[in-house]
Structure 1
């Protein structure tokens, strides 16, 4: 944990200088001393030049020794090296520069997909002589998440990048710290709690009212922005008992409107919190993308600090109030706490540590807001470009729930087509498209190619796995894997593809780290979709309302797969989102209904 007055960059440079200066200085002193003992008089500057001159040779020798060591380790385990991306420049620098320069313009995951097409589903990027393994193979992901869970951790690299925002919460911890947070949080997500829909209903009504205001004057809305406010308000009230009330702030106007309220309102605390929380997460993703040298981009200051001041100003009083309330009632029996108490109320019964409670609530807020908003945004996009599925979904909702009645937990359980629509959305656009782990011990993975030796996985390397790319593999899901077809969850394709290999569908992770809020998310998404389709009969995209610079570029049409026809721009930081938002119009249901 860094001292608050030390920037990440200064700390990084300090460590780097120590690692270089101390060995070099020691070498120079030893060389000069040995020479003097033999009666030779040697200039320290000459020795320094010689030591520095041999540094590149020493680095090259290190690389060769490392290569040989890995081959020997693989041989002892009767394994082979993972196929490597091969660039033309040393350290694959050309490949690295190409991916960095193209990332802002390409379709999500396209550059990695091209490499896996050439080398197979598991590859080693080997950028700057550092092993970086990426896989879309379900057997390997199963190994990481379940069968060899203890050998794969978040790791020090990820924790350092995310510490200033996520602290030691459940998404940024390993070993006993992770177990503690998991054990503390699990009891809160019970059937009784996740089936309470009062919170969803209040905020759904508020969101739909805002939508109607804009649609009545012929304007589109940014559904991504609106649904992010809905999920933030719902999650903050559900978890903390304090609603951020972000739906009270003015929503953005379309690109083609004369008005504009896209700038953050300085005096609006709800909007400021929402913006700061998003920006802090975005910075985490930038750090992870840069790699271990990310502190060099934050020499002068921690670039999450200003955003976390706003987040902390909201969250700190909530945690302090809960702790004081608990201290005042310590003599009461635990059963006297309301069963519908908040997550903070639950956590203060288990610990009085302020940082532990705060970190955990913020981690759960991240999951409760962003992942659900991401999936609902993608669902509305897919229904807008597939009106036949929208019509069928509305028919199911109206026939089983009716045009106005609030849905219940039992209603949602019986809406089979609604669940199929959500699953198909999560297959094509999983909320967390890429995730990261770090291996501990040398190990092997089964070969994806029958009859070949297993793959050697060194200890201490970064491993990225992509459910986004795995969910779209035609060899796993059939020739229509790139198509949006909710019926694949209702027909024989389930038996043919999913049942024999359940690890091909992992939108909520798997194994010991499987998402605790999975059912909560399904309930919230289902509830909101029901309310939306009770209120609106059609959904259409409004590209004219969108900043044209943030729409998919025309040259995408020359590519293959979904990239050629996609009508929104999927991107990701910690979660998947639509670049520039998702601008849509909807037709309100006739008031007679």
Structure 2
């Protein structure tokens, strides 16, 4: 009864990108070797090597020119024009590449702008297209029904552990890194959701502030797993910035190989055991379509395919979606609550009014809390967890020209087009003159009807169209649930700048920036695959008297 996954178009990890880059060099290099054998001359070898390099450059130059001429002709055929180009002052616009790297490391996010991810994400739902994407989507969709995403018992268990660890550390007068705690919470709940067994990251010690005498916490296998997972994501994010030349940089070693060994050492035995159980079980058509109450996502997936690579890739894709994006959202919501005490007070009052000081919230409670949803949405607007995305054309298309009198822009086939919801969410023509300000009421008052309802595609934290996030409502529920529990337990929250590592504090010159948001920031927002606060989010909180 097993449904086989469609064959992948990529056959081996870490090989295809290098072949694509070095392919044009193979024939000239082989010619150099043969001629050197016949000539037997070191000088000849140098001369021929130089000629080989020049020939490669010439071939690439000719290919670029031919492609440019073809695109110019095809654009004319479609009644369009090619988009404007941004050229640097140096050959190959190397100066722009250097500026981009510097801005990524040192500047505020947003002021710079497939194969890179394959060694980590493989052909999972976020990194695949066509039949493979449809397959992943179809087998995952049933697991995100309302009944599945509103089971809060598991979330409550890990929330309770996280809040207790926060309370214990805070009661000793030491600040906590909220980003670290919430990343542990989402990692443990995500691995429980996926496998039925948590990685157990909440069971280890929390980190201390950089200036604390006990600042070095003991490492554990769970910490190693989380660190390796983050390192792999940082590597593939760097590949995106490096563009097509990244295989040259990693020619001798795949930089994701070592961290993925750590990740796979945890995941692979679980996958193998799930496949073993599945092979010993007979599934009828009813069991394939339905999801049992005690069934994990992995249990559900192995009913449809037992291909270890497909399972591995899908699990990692869902883990990033279920862990990193939720952790980012909760981190930035909490950051805004420290920045805007009036929002914190109003939100906590709503929690106490609808749920009370200790009762576990229900799906209906969350649905009724309009201000809570507005606070989450406003956070997602200013800090979407995935701020940049890329789409690649299957065939040549045109895009509208902002100038109504101009011709549309021509986009050739197989062209990667990046777009940033981070920047779009802050544009005043879409959101009004106060677009850079944090104001949850914009999702409740007249501005909702003025801006968002007439043009819903200005708000895309979960993407849109056929590839809209399957776990959207699950994410809302998890974020809402934890925030309710947090506000039940603690009555105040504030940033602790002294605990923030000095190198992760916003530069002093930001206070003079033209951008309002950049001027008022108290943290340094950064990006790997998802957004995060550089150096953590160090806070102090006061426990509520009426808490559990």
Q: Does 1:424 align with 2:378?
A: yes
Partner of 2:157: 202
Shift of 1:102: 2.7
Q: 1:546 to 1:54 in 2, by over 3 A?
A: closer
**Uncovered stretches (5+) of structure 2, i.e. residues with no partner:** 1-9, 36-43
Shift of 1:434: 0.4
Q: 1:27 to 1:343 in 2, by over 3 A?
A: same
Q: Does 1:78 align with 2:79?
A: yes
Work out the CA distance in 1 between the residues paired with 2:547 and 2:258. Answer: 50
Residue 247 (structure 2) aligned to one of 274, 283, 295? 295
Contact in 1 for aligned 2:17/2:247 (Cα 8 Å)? yes
Task: Give 3-state SS (helix, strand or coil) of 2:126's partner.
Answer: helix
Residue 234 (structure 2) aligned to one of 266, 276, 282? 282
Shift of 1:195: 0.4
Query: Which moved further from structure 2: 163-172 or 541-550?
Result: 163-172
Work out the CA distance in 1 between the residues paired with 2:334 and 2:48. Answer: 68
Work out the CA distance in 2 between the residues paired with 1:446 and 1:436. Answer: 18
Q: 1:3 to 1:349 in 2, by over 3 A?
A: closer
Contact in 1 for aligned 2:338/2:493 (Cα 8 Å)? yes
Contact in 2 for aligned 1:28/1:51 (Cα 8 Å)? no
Work out the CA distance in 1 between the residues paired with 2:323 and 2:311. Answer: 18
Partner of 2:94: 93
Contact in 1 for aligned 2:384/2:421 (Cα 8 Å)? yes
Task: Give 3-state SS (helix, strand or coil) of 2:117's partner.
Answer: helix
Q: Does 1:326 align with 2:331?
A: no
Q: Deviations over 1:109-141 (max 9, x none)?
A: 1134xxxxxxxxxxxxxxxxxxxxxxxxxxxxx
Q: 1:68 to 1:354 in 2, by over 3 A?
A: closer
Q: Does 1:317 align with 2:272?
A: no
Q: Does 1:582 align with 2:537?
A: yes
Contact in 1 for aligned 2:210/2:501 (Cα 8 Å)? yes
Shift of 1:301: 2.4
Shift of 1:338: 3.4
Residue 343 (structure 2) aligned to one of 384, 389, 411? 389
Partner of 1:223: 178
Partner of 1:369: 323
Work out the CA distance in 2 between the residues paired with 1:168 and 1:570. Answer: 29
Residue 559 (structure 1) aligned to one of 513, 516, 523? 513
Q: Deviations over 1:502-554 (max 9, x none)?
A: 10000001111110000000000000000000011111000100111111111
Q: Deviations over 1:534-585 (max 9, x none)?
A: 0111110001001111111111112111111111111111101111111111
Query: Which moved further from structure 2: 520-529 or 313-322?
Result: 313-322
Partner of 2:210: 255
Task: Give 3-state SS (helix, strand or coil) of 2:539's partner.
Answer: strand
Partner of 2:390: 436
Work out the CA distance in 2 between the residues paired with 1:255 and 1:47. Answer: 56
Contact in 1 for aligned 2:490/2:547 (Cα 8 Å)? no
TM-score between both structures, scaled by the size of structure 2: 0.90
Work out the CA distance in 2 between the residues paired with 1:337 and 1:54. Answer: 59
Query: Which moved further from structure 2: 271-280 or 529-538?
Result: 271-280
Work out the CA distance in 2 between the residues paired with 1:18 and 1:450. Answer: 43
Query: Which moved further from structure 2: 12-21 or 406-415?
Result: 12-21
**Uncovered stretches (5+) of structure 1, i.e. residues with no partner:** 31-42, 113-157
Q: Deviations over 1:219-238 (max 9, x none)?
A: 11111110000001111111
Contact in 2 for aligned 1:256/1:545 (Cα 8 Å)? yes
Task: Give 3-state SS (helix, strand or coil) of 1:435's partner.
Answer: strand
Residue 493 (structure 2) aligned to one of 518, 539, 542? 539
What's the RMSD between the two structures over aligned residues?
2.6
Partner of 2:27: 22
Query: Which moved further from structure 2: 287-296 or 377-386?
Result: 287-296
Contact in 1 for aligned 2:358/2:547 (Cα 8 Å)? no
TM-score between both structures, scaled by the size of structure 1: 0.84
Query: Which moved further from structure 2: 77-86 or 417-426?
Result: 77-86
Q: Does 1:415 align with 2:364?
A: no
Shift of 1:337: 7.3
Contact in 1 for aligned 2:328/2:530 (Cα 8 Å)? yes
Residue 223 (structure 2) aligned to one of 255, 264, 271? 271
Q: Deviations over 1:206-260 (max 9, x none)?
A: 0010111111111111111100000011111112101111000111101121112
Q: 1:81 to 1:282 in 2, by over 3 A?
A: same
Work out the CA distance in 1 between the residues paired with 2:17 and 2:202. Answer: 41
Q: Does 1:211 align with 2:163?
A: no
Aligned residue runs from structure 1 range 497-512, under 5 A: 497-512=451-466
Aligned residue runs from structure 1 range 115-130, under 5 A: none
Query: Which moved further from structure 2: 469-478 or 56-65?
Result: 56-65
Shift of 1:71: 2.5
Work out the CA distance in 2 between the residues paired with 1:592 and 1:163. Answer: 46
Count residues in correspondence: 528
Partner of 1:356: 310
Query: Which moved further from structure 2: 554-563 or 180-189?
Result: 554-563
Work out the CA distance in 2 between the residues paired with 1:52 and 1:238. Answer: 53
Q: 1:312 to 1:449 in 2, by over 3 A?
A: same
